[in-house]
Structure 1
Amino acid sequence: MPTEIACDESGSEGGNLIGAITDVFAHASVRLSIESAEECIHRLRRRIRSPALEYKANHLLREKHRAVLVWLLSPHGPIHGNARVHLVEKTFFVTEKFAELAAPSLDARTLYRAGWQALGPRRWLAFLKSFNDLVRSQPGLIALDLHIPAIAQAVAHWSAEGDPVAVVHDRQNLLTEERLLQLKQTLGGRLTGLRFADSRDDARVQIADFLAGVARRIASDELNGHGDAELVELLRSYVDPASTWGDERSWAALRPR
């Protein structure tokens, strides 16, 4: 019997990875029964007391609801040990793709550090954006796909004990039939299937939406030098150690111990 996990993401802006609204992509996966997930949503509603029909991560990120967010992420909370989040620092992801295409013998982390130091933030980001725009204008040149690697990491994690995984994912137009076929071929028997569900109809997907949204904000704040130490500490146990992250200072805070 396959393990069923529910997934959602935050920070997806298609292939526009540099200079867009978000600098971090987060993909969350949760392994909960529908009953446990519904109970978690019920408890969140009881604590937040908002009239909104569907709760989003922004509800939890409001300062007045900080205690609720701390409860959700805490070691004694409802998702601890049953949730995972894969983080992607977009500038480093694009740096990796540039190294893969133009300088495969060059270590991407070395290039990443050199870019910031030698060119400075403005010129380095302008260079990465030019490369990003070039790749977007040349379909098939190189993949700027954040979802497929993240889903593959989730399946690898939840199938590590030997049981295959079935994925329930929030609806996402970027996950085309072609990409899903590629994913299944890559993962072989570890992935038994992937279906889509609306977060309003599946409480597990809604919890994945919560985790992805709060993780993206917490990680982005830490990346930009104004992280919240308490929330970073709570998030750390959920972070995938194979996340795509180049900034050494913020990763030292975010990476799992």
Structure 2
Amino acid sequence: MTASTPLVVICDESGNDGENLLSGTSTVYAHASVTLSLDEAAELIDDVRARTRSRAAELKSKTILEPRHQATAKWLLSHPSVEGQASVHLTHKKYFVVSKLFDSTAEELAHELGDDIYESGAALAGANLLFFLGPSNYGEGWDRLLMKFQHFMRAKDTDQAQTHLASLIDNMLQLLSYQDAIVRDVLGTVFAGINHLGSLSRLQLGEGLEERLRTMDPLISAVGAAVHFWASISGRPIELVHDDAKELTPAKIAWAKRALAHPEDVAPSRLGLASELVDVQLVDSKSDPRVQVADLIAGIARVVGESLTREQQHPLSQNLLPMVSGASLWPIRDNMDVAKAREAMLSQF
């Protein structure tokens, strides 16, 4: 096997509400990827089925998440076949919205001015400052702002997008009038780049494209993170096998391939961090035990993540932690400091 032989990476997800990030059924989205062989995965699924005494036609994560099967969940996460062959990308949905708002305004403005705030850590610090200080500085007004941004991003046509954008701007101006808000300057950089939302909206609406890009769906970024992770540690191109997902259309897959091949288009500091995605196969999880293992891990990860958002320690946290990706979209208080944020960004690569 050579470095040019693709590494087959198998994926599944849990907690996906599409672009309805703020009012869906889950506060956390989990995307699991494994590199197990068919035989390894089949043996694991057979063992889990025996341990849980499941008679379901397809073994799903809801079975292993039953409290009485917690020991089986721990056994799976710590199994030698899984060690080094599984990774989980977690997305804190509200933080994802805050990051998207900051990146599509303040970061775009900085990029236009020739400033790479990804490299400096200012992009990560800005998103974390808004996430942690926005609620305490602005109260319910902060949640209204995020919901207005989500409405704008999910607009069905240009007229609706313009209406939601006007409402978003009005809400932001109201918050910026709070003179004593500690995070006011950071929100000011968002407002300074607000005109860049127009180009993002056109991508969301699919103007001049084969189809809408749907950049608020966490699946897209999670797939990119999985490809980059496995390509980085293996030095090989990646062939993705994914549970059937309607958002993974040919057009979006082609877009992902281009973005992964040219990360420097996002920020100059990412030059040399290209990853090659050679193919994506969508399969029915019923026919692939590798996808079923990914489903079990993703389901566990989502539940653990939801506990963390409530600042509760889940019994499976320590078992899951070793396989959680450093590129996960998760708020971290230390990253409000630019220097620490820069260290965190560098550690991802």
Same fold (TM > 0.5)? yes
Look up the equivalent residue of 1:9 and give its one-letter code: E
Pair 1:41-2:45 in alignment: yes
**Equivalent position of 1:243 in the other structure:** 328
Q: Which of 61, 66, 84 is the aligned partner of 1:62?
A: 66
Shift of 1:53: 1.1
Q: Which of 154, 157, 164 is the aligned partner of 2:237?
A: 164
Q: CA RMSD in A?
A: 2.0
**Equivalent position of 2:251 in the other structure:** 178
Contact 1:223/1:247, CA 8 A, preserved across alignment: no
Contact 2:27/2:306, CA 8 A, preserved across alignment: yes
**Which is further off, 137-146 or 44-53?**
137-146
Pair 1:125-2:143 in alignment: yes
Q: 1:20 to 1:179 in 2, by over 3 A?
A: same
Contact 2:90/2:330, CA 8 A, preserved across alignment: yes
Look up the equivalent residue of 2:47 and give its one-letter code: R
Unaligned 5+ residue runs, structure 1?
250-254
Shift of 1:248: 3.6
Give CA-to-partner distance per residue, 1:9-44, whole Å, 9 cap, x none. Answer: 111111111021111111110001001000010000
Contact 1:11/1:25, CA 8 A, preserved across alignment: yes
SS of 1:103's equivalent in the other structure is helix
Shift of 1:86: 0.5
Look up the equivalent residue of 1:110 and give its one-letter code: L
Shift of 1:207: 0.7
Q: 1:141 to 1:182 in 2, by over 3 A?
A: closer
Contact 1:135/1:141, CA 8 A, preserved across alignment: no
Look up the equivalent residue of 2:316 and give its one-letter code: L
**Equivalent position of 2:299 in the other structure:** 213
**In structure 2, how many angstroms separate the alpha carbons of the residues matched to 1:50 and 1:98?**
44
**Equivalent position of 1:252 in the other structure:** none
Shift of 1:124: 2.6
Give CA-to-partner distance per residue, 1:31-85, whole Å, 9 cap, x none. Answer: 01001000010000110002211111111111111110010112x4431210001
SS of 2:202's equivalent in the other structure is coil
Pair 1:25-2:87 in alignment: no
Q: 1:125 to 1:77 in 2, by over 3 A?
A: farther
Unaligned 5+ residue runs, structure 2?
111-122, 156-160, 162-200, 205-214, 262-274, 335-343
**Equivalent position of 1:114 in the other structure:** 133
Contact 2:241/2:280, CA 8 A, preserved across alignment: yes
**In structure 2, how many angstroms separate the alpha carbons of the residues matched to 1:127 and 1:146?**
20
With normalisation by structure 1, the TM-score equals: 0.90
Give CA-to-partner distance per residue, 1:62-118, whole Å, 9 cap, x none. Answer: 1111110010112x4431210001011111111011112333357111111221221
Pair 1:12-2:97 in alignment: no
Shift of 1:178: 1.4
Q: 1:157 to 1:102 in 2, by over 3 A?
A: closer
**In structure 2, how many angstroms separate the alpha carbons of the residues matched to 1:58 and 1:224?**
20
Query: Could you tell me the percent identity over the aligned residues?
Result: 35
Q: Decide which structure has greater helix share.
A: 2
**Equivalent position of 2:120 in the other structure:** none
SS of 1:237's equivalent in the other structure is helix
Q: Which of 89, 92, 97 is the aligned partner of 2:100?
A: 97
**Equivalent position of 2:90 in the other structure:** 87
**In structure 2, how many angstroms separate the alpha carbons of the residues matched to 1:71 and 1:140?**
47
**Equivalent position of 2:195 in the other structure:** none
**In structure 2, how many angstroms separate the alpha carbons of the residues matched to 1:141 and 1:193?**
24
